[in-house]
Copies of this chain bind each other. A is one copy, B any other.
């Protein structure tokens, strides 16, 4: 696999979507797909698709199309999804439970090893056989179990503090659901998920539709 040094974030953000569609095709038993067919499925232009995939050396052959299985595996490898990741969830509220369940049901290489809380009523309970533990013990747990990713499902006001503790304990990535942009040292990757941003985009498109209608 040929990798290039610098691929834009915009391309990286599209790869999980490519992978999802390829996975659906795989499951349906589709072997090959042309960039035109892929375009009508995924909603990007064929030239965009060719350009995106060329970033990684180009997997397609002229007049033949892409191998669905091959491309799926390559994109999975590029995304680092051919490895396993150990994760902890901080915060066992509804969102923490939803995320823990979500990764459990989709049985990918992302494994929740522990869930941490400060609420004594929740500590000791289990979610999908994973114990809810005392947040005070998180550094020790992360260190001893070589945890890769911390998932932050706390309130906004404590999120950065939790992030700092997780970074100190040695995680390599943070997946943050608290509605604040968390900062990390450069060796720790961060994805800040702002659920309401997509609701605000939705509101925009609804307003646009209403304007069109009233024209």
Contacts and interface: CB of A to CB of B under 8 A. Distances in A.
Contact of A19 (B189, B190, B200): B200
A203 to B, nearest CB: 4
Contacts of A102: 95, 195-196
A194 to B, nearest CB: 7
Contacts of A12: 201, 204-205
Tallying the copies of this chain within the complex gives 2
Interface string A42-65: 000000000000000000000000
Interface stretch (A66-74, A131-139, A161-169, A206-214): A206-214
A98 B106 contact: no
B172 A80 contact: no
Interface string A100-131: 01110010101000000000000000000000
Contacts of A206: 80, 85, 148-149, 172-173, 189
B194 A15 contact: no
Contact of A209 (B187, B207, B209): B187
A30 interface: no
Nearest to A21: B181
A94 B177 CA distance: 15
Contacts of A144: none
Contact of A95 (B10, B93, B98, B187): B98
Nearest to A106: B196
A193 B198 contact: yes
B101 A13 contact: no
Given A207-B80, A213-B187, A149 B202 contact: yes
Contacts of A199: 103, 110, 175, 191
